[in-house]
Amino acid sequence: MSEQIYDIAVLGGGPGGYVAAIRSAQLKFKTAIIEKDKLGGICLNWGCIPTKALLKNAEVIHTIKKASEYGINIKEYSFDFTKIIKRSRDVSARIVKGVEFLMRKNKIDKYDGFGKLIDKNTIEVTDASGNKSLVKAKNIIIATGARPRQIPGIEIDRKSIITSSEAMVLERQPKDMIIIGAGAIGVEFAYFYNELGTKITLVEMMPQILPVEDEEVSKTLEKEFVKNGIRILTSTKVLSAKTTSKGVEVKVDANGKEETLTAEIALVAIGVQGNIENIGLEQVGVKTEKSFIVVNKETYQTSVPGIYAIGDVNGPPWLAHVASAEGIACVEQIAGLHHPGVDYSNIPGCTYCQPQVASIGLTEKKARELGHEIKVGRYPFRSHGKSLAVGENTGFVKLIFDAKYGELLGAHIIGENATELIAELGLAKSLEAVGESIFKTVHAHPTLSEAIMEAAADAYGEAIHL
């Protein structure tokens, strides 16, 4: 049994783990990373990247369907579902190879196998052949991520009742699908499969789809989805789901009215649970709660000194960019560098359906609940020059400012390229920009970003094009 001694050992190679390892190596720490599968974790292999590749196919199909609006006549078109899936997998594989290159470039030792803590400074790694090695380190960062959460009593067979992972690699396109959960994952798959022609029923327990988003945004998206043929059941609880000879039956309760839904496939997309099992947490005394590791959210230290946990495994928000930010913050604090920490009030959230949805900070409802006196500005894309020019004019920008100090409290966008536009508002919020500093900043014309300037101006009664 071989043994190595490191300054930092990272357990898990997802967007939290591999970023932490790279930052560790940059700071001249002797670094190891342990990963049982492929580097990149869920995000690069089964989440962020391959799903966006799939969604691009849906966007292309969407454009083809409305090509006549641009004076382009496409009488017939077809698509190869197998090739769509293959393209997504190829994109994922290419990105993963890039991460592997970064490990070599930064001289990070990579251990292929399942890692388990056997004491506060030691990880036992078991490879696919059963061979074991010990990785000893002064500091250990746990970045084992999370996996799709299951509904109690509903068995996921990965054939008729599936998770997002199976939804990305189906052998053939289903004619109909029930999607349980209308958060970002459920909504994105609803959009993707609906554009391809699958009949979609979207079931959500909360009163609105995308429950964490501003109500106006969610209502606008729901209206678009319904217009495009998606059936939406909100305030609806799933009672049971079972496989049948023809697919699956899902029994639901919609405001006291029971209904049995049928389809070829049911996709369960109701959230995640942490990967904390069998990695030795109990043995070394790391405290957990509801399937997640308890940490100090400033240092990411667990209940055991020298052991840290970052990313999805330490709880919400379950976002790849949060995991990466936590990885950098954690390593820099281990190094004794000053780090301001991760500002959890300034984390962008993005949903990559069409129209896209992006937000940062407080919703209007939450701002009022917290007692803020607010100014709200809105600017619709329906009358916006660039939106009309590109032929995508659904949606709006909505900005929420503190009435007394002018501070940007929240930003919400639904529309074309919303997930790109949100970055400007993240920077503005991090720099404590006030409304006037946003709308007095000259925005290039014609651009979609002008809608941000106009929304800020609207909050102060100075919008020009409203």
H/E run at residue 133: strand 132-142
Catalytic residues: 445
Q: How far apart are the first and last CA of the chain?
A: 72
| SS3 (DSSP) at 174 | coil
Cα angle: 401, vertex 405, 411; to 5 degrees: 20
Strand order in 199-203's β-sheet? 161-162, 265-268, 176-180, 199-203, 231-233
For residues 103 and 88, give the distance between their C-alpha atoms in angstroms, rounded to a whole number: 23
Q: What is the DSSP letter of 183?
A: S
- Amino acid residing at 384: H
Could you tell me which of 225, 198, 187 has the C-alpha nearest to residue 81? 198
Could you tell me which of 104, 98, 34, 89 has the C-alpha nearest to residue 57? 89
For residues 410 and 428, give the distance between their C-alpha atoms in angstroms, rounded to a whole number: 11
Whether the link from the prior residue into 355 is cis, omega within 30° of 0, is yes
252 is written with which tokens? 């639901």
302 is written with which tokens? 């667990």
